[in-house]
Structure 1
Amino acid sequence: MFDLVVVGGGPAGSSAARRAGALGLRTLLLEKEQFPRYKACGGGVTGQALSSLDFALPPRLCDATIFAARVHFEGRSIEARGESPLAAMVSRSDFDALLLEKALEGGVVARMGERVRGLEEHQNAVEVLTDDGAYEATYVIVAEGAQGTLKRTVRRKDREDEYGVCLVSEIRNEDSPRDYRQDTIEVHFGIGGMGYGWVFPHGEHLSVGIGGLASSLRSPKEIMAGFLRDRGFDPHHRARGHLIPVGGVRRTLASSRILLAGDAAGFLDSFTGEGIAYAIRSGQIAAEVISGSLLSGRHPKAQGEYQTLCEKEFGSNLRYSLFLARIMHRFPGIFFRLLASHQEVIDNFAKVATAQWSYGHYLRWLIPRLPGYLLQR
């Protein structure tokens, strides 16, 4: 019998397993794929995410270092550039494989290519049912991403306005209609409900994609083809899809012995679409809570403690990100004009992007100034 079974080997699962191993828990990680595996993603890892790791990102994994963001809306564009990096661009297949490798250094057992089919929670343990058999654990962390179904053992299914659909293509530089700067990401607003399109540099290729609310993005393949065509790319490039949660929605995070982490828990910045930082931290927090419960015997309290700690560390920030995203997408012209006309508005948002400010701090700074800014238009 294991102290902990972690379902999923992505950033949340591997981070949970690494922390659990370091805390001395008998840990089994189950992952349905063999690593390295392709993962559809823009590939941006923020400084906030990197600071949560207890090891440095090897330079070989960094395709590009981002210092600027160029934002487009209805034919206009603005650029924000900082002295500190906004993000490191990585291949998720390589990045996730590194996180798994680091988890295994702590004595974690991993079974790759083994899909979990179900969880049966009992009074003193959880039975984990897989394609190859069954395991017993005192606790389980579900970190299988937004598309998995095991999270429904803890919470209800998300509604269409509570998750997003993304499509992404990887396009070689030689197939690009123009040169894109390797230190700048390009973001195009006005794509679907609460969505945007992007062009991110990755050294020898570009990540080009779109995303938006499932309730609004009814024809994602057509929208993706149009986005590629409008940027001068071949609209027939292969695109792969994935789901992301809308962050900031109040969700149940745990039952007595099953904890959700990362996208499975709904942890994502709804304004930028960034989720890796919250995946890493929620996985670590879940492992720490489980370790404390095992040491103290406070099993019934793990559920509440995990929810409390996640709320304290980033819960309000995710809700403010959702609030700002809704306001921006409801009044995109006004918001874009604010960014274009008042340098301090975009400069201070860069502080949010680099985790120097929270969204709450930014909104408390911005809202009292809005009447004056709007009168100056």
Structure 2
Amino acid sequence: MIVGGGPAGVSTWLHLNKFAPELAERTVLIEKEKYPRDKLCGGAVSGWSEIVFKNLDVELSIPSIWIENVEFHYGRNINSIYQTRFFRVVQRQEFDHELAKIATKRGLELRENEEFLDITRSKEYLKIKTNLDTYKIKVLVGADGSLSVVRKRMNLPNKPHLAPTLEVFAPANPKFDKEVKEKKIVIDMTPQDEGLQGYVWHVPSLKNKKPIIGHGMVDFRFFPERPRADMKKIFSRVLQSREIYTNINLWRGHPIRYPSKNDIVSKPNILLVGDAIGIEPAFGGGIHFALSYGEIAAKTIINAFECSDFSFENYKQEIQFHLLGKWLKKCTDIASGLYGKKIHPFDAARDIFTIEDK
């Protein structure tokens, strides 16, 4: 059973279907909401996502804006990276729904409006209780996000690393919002001087075929003992600079998780994937991580059935050996230097991107 119908959960099934279709046929995915469901996210499909899609023979037919410029701001200084079709920006409601439709056409048993509630362990199987039914299963995949209920029911000793976010979507204003015309994303790291351990973003996308801008911010609080930045004050100022006066009650927020090296990500018969484990805490890349978590989990599950060993003791090591794990370590090290004031924001960006002076 896979709990959660986001990119990580659906990717897990798609990879199972590719490498072991007989296991995919026996796998059910439950999603607590009905597609298309709302999802707070900047919507940047970046990193190696296109490689994963190609390997899965997945073609997305949803509205997208292809980004050619990522523009980093710090004070009055600007550094940029340019690349044709660098990555695409999507609406997460459409993106998640599209992936789910592709999977169901290939045979996924999808049960919407079904919410995971609890696990009971026996010697031979896991008993899963949902709001609609009970199941006896061999493997459970927790793909239910940064506030994962599966994770909670695993009773892990992990310390939570949750980064608060704020986001507002507004129609593109040609007077201020150059992101659509210039096919760019703006990442403003200036508020780090006010204690923000994160950045502000301005990301263009399409909604109902009309250009909109996602304005948001994140505070990773990588060093939680330090004074917290006043996110509401900073965000209000940012919005007003673009003549956006949205009522604060309409601002949206959802914490995102990032892992530490000591986190436990599995137990016998249970694996976590995607945001239930976490994204990277430097620039917050998540979707390409989710897709790769699915690949690693699927191969781990296949091996478990082949060897009749469901301890999943090597799952974390498999993550660490994968490109995902290596990138996660690199980004975590960069985040430590960046938010520890040991690396200049542009230098941190250069370590992840190739920056050109502007």
**TM-score bucket of the superposed structures, by smaller chain:** 0.7 to 0.9
Range moving further from structure 2, 16-25 or 203-212: 16-25
Residues 159, 232 of structure 1: alpha-carbon distance in 2 compared, 3 angstrom cutoff: farther
Partner of 1:146: 146
> 1:241 is aligned with what amino acid?
G
Contact 2:163/2:256 (8 A) holds in 1: yes
TM-score (norm 1): 0.81
Matched, 1:293 2:313: no
Matched, 1:18 2:14: yes
Matched, 1:252 2:225: no
Mapping of residues 87-126 of structure 1, within 5 Å = 87-126=87-126
Partner of 1:55: 57
- Aligned with 1:18: secondary structure? helix
Partner of 1:229: 240
Counterpart of 1:198 (choices 167, 187, 201) is 201
Mapping of residues 66-77 of structure 1, within 5 Å = 66-77=67-78
Partner of 2:218: 211
State the identity as a percent. Answer: 22
Contact 2:158/2:262 (8 A) holds in 1: no
Q: State the shift of 1:305 in Å.
A: 2.8
Matched, 1:317 2:311: no
Contact 1:9/1:31 (8 A) holds in 2: yes
Partner of 1:355: none
CA distance in 2, matches of 1:89, 1:350: 18
- Aligned with 2:48: secondary structure? helix
Mapping of residues 325-364 of structure 1, within 5 Å = 325-331=335-341, 335-336=344-345, 338=347, 346=350, 349-350=352-353
- Aligned with 1:42: secondary structure? coil
CA distance in 2, matches of 1:132, 1:305: 33
Residues 305, 283 of structure 1: alpha-carbon distance in 2 compared, 3 angstrom cutoff: same
Provide, for residues 105-148 of structure 1, a one-character-per-residue CA deviation record: whole Å limited to 9, x for no partner. Answer: 33221110111111222222111111112111110000000022
Range moving further from structure 2, 8-17 or 115-124: 115-124
Contact 2:117/2:149 (8 A) holds in 1: no
Provide, for residues 213-263 of structure 1, a one-character-per-residue CA deviation record: whole Å limited to 9, x for no partner. Answer: 354656544442232123432243732111111245431111010100011
CA distance in 2, matches of 1:74, 1:351: 20
- Aligned with 1:226: secondary structure? helix
Residues 94, 85 of structure 1: alpha-carbon distance in 2 compared, 3 angstrom cutoff: same
Counting matched residue pairs gives 335
Residues 338, 305 of structure 1: alpha-carbon distance in 2 compared, 3 angstrom cutoff: closer
CA distance in 1, matches of 2:228, 2:86: 28
Q: State the shift of 1:283 in Å.
A: 1.5
CA distance in 2, matches of 1:337, 1:15: 33
Range moving further from structure 2, 145-154 or 196-205: 145-154
Range moving further from structure 2, 246-255 or 135-144: 246-255
> 1:171 is aligned with what amino acid?
A
Q: State the shift of 1:184 in Å.
A: 0.8
Contact 1:40/1:242 (8 A) holds in 2: yes
Residues 21, 316 of structure 1: alpha-carbon distance in 2 compared, 3 angstrom cutoff: closer
CA distance in 2, matches of 1:195, 1:33: 30
Q: State the shift of 1:171 in Å.
A: 0.7
Q: What's the Cα RMSD here?
A: 2.5
Range moving further from structure 2, 304-313 or 25-34: 304-313
